[in-house]
A = this chain, B = another copy of it.
Amino acid sequence: MRFAGSHVLSVEQFSREDIEQIFKVADSMEPYALRKRVTRVLEGAILGNMFFEPSTRTRVSFGCAFNLLGGEVRETTGFKSSAIAKGESLYDTARVLSGYSDVICMRHPEAGSVAEFASASRVPVVNGGDGANEHPSQALLDLYTIQKEVKAKGGSMDRLRIAMIGDLKHGRTVHSLSRLLALYECLDVVLVSPGELAMPESYVENLRSAGHRVTVSSELNQSISQVDIVYSTRIQEERFSSKEEADLYRGRFRLNQAIYTKYCQPNTVIMHPLPRDSRSDANELDNDLNQNPNLAIFRQADNGVLVRMALFAMILDVVDQVDSHSRDVNWYHRRANE
């Protein structure tokens, strides 16, 4: 099967067909993620969840996805105490750790490190984020959410209109997402940021050369008035030289229910890669949006589990066995997707 034994390192590796296949598998994971059914298809398999940079929710989301398929998770978090800090090469780390599990998810603060690790690994590696570079499962879950939300409203991916808002310079999320969006047709993309935090030209060019219409703006209200999706992002404070410099931009593009009502079309979907900064000086997406049914940010997080389950099932080549290893859930479960 496509992806059996493959690394997942970059969105660049996916064709539109690949993505549609991944999303079809993700759809089929829903009964398990919603705890209507349990599958034990990966019982006995081990995920090495290697986080050399902290990220609670990404780590737990990957671990949970593997558990939901019946597998076990061995983890590490942090960097200082690791062998890498004692001068071990990524090559050695990969050769050793890949003897301990069936698949590895790795996050690391340095761009390119995960690909270097993967080249020495004896098992498939999923990039869980390598510095400013890539975080492919996040881009996939964003795209999966976009597709699900617009489909639910009768729309389609082709001809999609989307505004991306915030720190478009540092946000690897919007970079990777723009790469995937370029695979579709006739999109209308509005890029909203302060001039200094604009989307790097290569991503803009990639979209334009694929035939999409790209508008660049530093003004929020009009930019969100003709779109299907508003994708808001956090100021990446950790990428600035000082907190003070980041503060110059914090809270620049606040969206709340009043602005939404005044400027957006009634069905516009609001997304955010999370965490959203809810401190009063930031307030990217105001809490008064929490009751708005078009706020998709938590469905987005839930979709992350489905997409990661799909990736694991495809990499380990068990897609066709998931259902045959399943049964009904025998414990209390009330959770709906929202």
Contact = CB atoms under 8 A, between A and B. Distances in A.
Contacts of A89: 278, 287
Contacts of A102: 35, 331-333
Interface residues of A, number: 80
Interface in A252-304: 274-279, 282, 287, 290, 297-298, 301-302
Oligomeric state, in number of copies?
Answer: 3
B95 A42 contact: no
A111 interface: no
Interface in A305-333: 305, 315-318, 321, 329-333
B99 A305 contact: yes
A82 interface: yes
Interface stretch (A57-65, A149-157, A182-190, A221-229): A57-65
Interface stretch (A9-17, A71-79, A130-138, A160-168): A71-79
B274 A83 contact: yes
Interface stretch (A19-27, A44-52, A194-202): A44-52
A88 interface: yes
A83 B64 contact: no
A334 B102 CA distance: 9
A39 B38 CA distance: 17
A216 interface: no
Interface centre among A74, A237, A290 (most CB of B within 10 A): A74
A311 to B, nearest CB: 13
B4 A332 contact: yes
A56 B76 contact: yes
A48 B61 CA distance: 11
Given A64-B100, A74-B63, A86 B42 contact: no
Across the A-B interface, the 5 shortest Cβ-Cβ residue pairs: A54-B81, A38-B44, A83-B275, A88-B275, A87-B277
